[in-house]
Amino acid sequence: MSAATRRFPLRKNDRRLFLDRVSTKLGINTESMFGSKPQIEVIEMSKGKIYVVNGDPLVAESEEKMFPTLQFEEHVSHLPKVVVDMGAVPYICSKADVMGPGIVEIQGEFEPKSLVTIVDVKNRKPIAVAESIYDSKTAATSKKGKLFRNLHCVGDEIWAVAKEIEDRRKS
């Protein structure tokens, strides 16, 4: 795990604080999703943290923003979706923000600073988790400029470490 600088379990008090933050920031009923006493580990990296819940890399934190990893499919699948054309995919997967011209469709409603899932038009697979700059109505009618701030994408440091954790679990 080359990108990770340190890995450690959360203590009981810190675990409760973390679960409360996840519940508030991501709107998740943590007890029904993770159980009453989940095991939580923290992986510290140069650009943030990954929280491994019951062995799965589900939540990340970077630049004081908390968001689900792309591996947290149960949550990512319920976020509003921004469908982008295939020409935008390589840029988004290189950590570029999502610009108006690359957007094909917006599904769901959201407010500024809401989390959204970015999916490609061909496969409809999640390629990024982003934060909206505008509300859904404004974003749907804007055809130029930056509309979504890319927080996490396929191929970034968080994705690489999370993928490595998943691969180890499978073997």
Q: List pLDDT tens digits, range 93-102.
A: 999 999 999 9
Confidence at residue 1, expressed as pLDDT on a 0 to 100 scale: 44
Nearest to 131 by CA among 79, 90, 87, 167: 79
Rg of the chain on CA atoms, in Å: 16
Q: Which tokens go with 2?
A: 């080359």
pLDDT at 90 over 90: yes
Instruction: Let me know: does 148 contact 132? Beta carbons within 8 Å.
Output: yes
What value does the mean pLDDT take over residues 147-165? Answer: 95
Confidence at residue 47, expressed as pLDDT on a 0 to 100 scale: 83
- pTM attached to this predicted model: 0.92
- Report the percent of the chain where pLDDT is more than 90: 88
* CA distances from residue 45 to 26, 77, 138, 155 in whole angstroms, order as listed: 21, 26, 35, 15
Give the confidence band of 170 by pLDDT, cuts at 50, 70, 90.
confident
Mean pLDDT of the chain: 93
**What is the C-alpha separation between 16 and 20, in angstroms, rounded?**
6
